Structure 1
Amino acid sequence: MILLEIMRPANCVMAGAASLTGMIASGAIPSSLHIPALVFFAVFLITGGGNAINDYFDREIDAVNRPERPIPSGRISPRAALMWSVTLFVVGCAISGLINQSCLALAVLNSSVLIIYAARLKGLPAAGNIAVSYLTGTTFLFGGLAAMPSSITAYLSILAALATLSREIVKDIEDLPGDLAHGAKTLPAFIGERKSFITASLALIVAVLLSYLVPLGIEYLVAVSTANIAFLVSMNRMLRGDASGSQRWIKMGMALALMAFLLGSLL
């Protein structure tokens, strides 16, 4: 159970669903469930590996910010978490190789970025946020590569990256006390909370505007408007200095946007 918890399965499921949405949006839906299943589990496992290795490198900061997490709470050792992460990366990449060479290449690249992010980039202003945004966006691309890449897949990747960039900045604001205590030079630590909130809001505004350019039909436009309302509420929370509430609304908006993309692609 603890091995599943450190993967953060809810995030893994969302990433896997995003990759399947990218596949559907590409317009080339496979006739069997074989390839979609491989796509989902490859992304699920690699995302879980990234979460586990992030907890490994963040164990001292989490002792301050999130002491209930598996490593600082003592429910799993740092070494066991590291070995579990490596296993997830290897198996995820192996599954990607069963899809095609393009998916394998992206899986290896993203696994490398996840490791570098956890070890080096997370404590650098903006660099870590950009890395996570890239990784989230390419989950859609991964699904497209498994089928047939299209302009729709590119749109989805960009929108997901922008929303994630905003959420990552807000998360850093929420984690600022622990990050400052351990010398992590995140964006809020570098430019301050207010400017970070403004940067996060601008990323969301661009995402909201671009979302109406995606040519997926009227059903998509209605559905994505619901997601955009959640994003607007999150911006209101930002203006009020509520990082925790803002992050929750961004996450809700991302889930609703994912449903909108899926609905538009299917219809």
Structure 2
Amino acid sequence: MAEKKSAGGAVKAWLKLVRIEHALMSCVGVGIAMLLAIKQPYIIPNLSMHASAEFGFWPAPPLLAWLLALAVPFFINISSFALNDYFDIEADRKNGQLKRPLVSGALKPSVALWTAILGYAIGMLAGWLLNPVCGTIATIFTLLSIAYNYKLKDWPLVGNAYIALSMAIAFLFGAGAVMSKNDGLTGLLAMMTSFGWTTPLVLLFSPLFLIFSDGMPATILWLTAGAFFAGLAREIIKSVQDMEGDKKARNSKHLPILIGAQNALAVASVCVVGYSVCVAQLAGLMKDQPLTQFLLILSGAAYAAIALVLWKWAEKDYMLELARKASLYALMLALVAMLVGAI
């Protein structure tokens, strides 16, 4: 009985280590983008979603192709959080994060390290099995994740922007998983196969080709922008919460340390307003779906309230934590709204 309880405790600690809810949210974001892209009348879906992989290295049945697309954000997300806690054991102690699995001793650091190594490998492999664009995105964000956890998180705004981008890219990735070369990716795929030694450079900029692709739905672009603003706001708030411990443990030079907590929260407030604008645009595009529109308006209103909290009660630590949690729930509400609209 004790062994079962111990095993259950280890599983619970591992789920806490990898922040499983964030991985699942990314999967939902990718799935929503895939459904939205498939529904567009001018998009011819990638055959990997139906019979065989059009760009991949091997034929993929429909269910397997969907599982591969969802595996990428899932495994890269859990790897990133595991590696974050692996590098941050001392900083977490100084920030009073004593319930974190590695700090409390619930898990050994080696568990976090091996979770990161295996998760990154599986995520990249799944991306490349889908198509070169998805493989490139998976590889870029794996490398950025490692760089972020090792050093970028201590750079002013750079680390925050990376986390925001990692949230936003889920929607472009989902669209890239189903959009075929008939949807504006012809030039990119042609360059990949004919430019020889410059192919890696073309691959590096492939996410930009997705953004400017003729077939990219406006809903996905607004979702991407909204997720970026929401992620950036949340990360700046977290930097303010952790600034003392980060400064002592890692000599960080991130945004709140350089410009002060109040000024950093002012930047976060601007990002919160940016999210509300994006959600308003999405609601306008969904006027034929009243339930989706209503849920999006609620999400935007919640972020407007968060901006008020950051402006009036920023000096209270518990209000910052409340604002950060509320922002996550409001973002989840927007995802539910778009899922309802996509189905």
Q: Normalised by the size of structure 2, how large is the TM-score?
A: 0.74
- Of the three residues 164, 185, 197, the one matched with 2:253 is 185
| Partner deviation per Cα, 1:81-139 (whole Å, 9 max, x = no partner) | 21220111001111222222211111011111111111111011101001111111001
**Structure 1 residues 253-264: aligned runs within 5 Å:** 253-264=330-341
Relative contact order (C-alpha < 8 Å, sep 6+): which is higher? 1
Cα displacement (A) at 1:4: 3.3
Q: What's 1:68 paired with?
A: 99
Structure 1 residues without counterparts, runs of 5 or longer: none
Q: Which residue of 2 aligns with 1:14?
A: 25
SS at match of 2:101: coil
Give the whole-Å Cα distance in 2 for the aligned partners of 1:210 and 1:140.
14
Q: After TM superposition, give the deviation of residue 34 of structure 1 in Å.
A: 2.9
Number of equivalences: 266
- Quote the residue 2:170 is aligned against: 139
| Aligned Cα root-mean-square deviation (Å) | 1.7
Deviation string for 1:44-101 (max 9, x for gaps)?
Answer: 1110001111111111111122121111112223233212201110011112222222
Quick check: 1:97–1:104 contact (8 Å CA) kept in 2? yes
2: CA distance, partners of 1:4 / 1:87: 16
| Displacement after TM superposition at 1:187 (Å) | 1.0
CA distance in 1, matches of 2:29, 2:140: 18
* Structure 1 residues 79-94: aligned runs within 5 Å: 79-94=110-125
User: In 1, distance between residues paired with 2:81 and 2:65?
Assistant: 24
Alignment match, 2:194: none
- The amino acid of 2:108's aligned partner reads S
Q: Give distance in 2, aligned partners of 1:108 and 1:3.
A: 24
5+ residue gaps in structure 2? Answer: 1-10, 40-44, 51-61, 180-209, 211-215
Q: TM-score, normalised by structure 1?
A: 0.93
CA distance in 1, matches of 2:63, 2:241: 40
Change (3 A) 1:264 1:227: same
Q: 2:294 aligns with which of 219, 222, 242?
A: 222
Q: CA deviation at 1:153?
A: 2.0
Aligned ranges for residues 1-267 of structure 1 at < 5 Å? 1=11, 2-27=13-38, 30=49, 32-65=62-95, 66-148=97-179, 150-151=216-217, 152-182=219-249, 183-214=251-282, 215-217=285-287, 218-219=289-290, 220-239=292-311, 240-241=313-314, 242-266=319-343
> How much does 1:25 deviate?
1.8
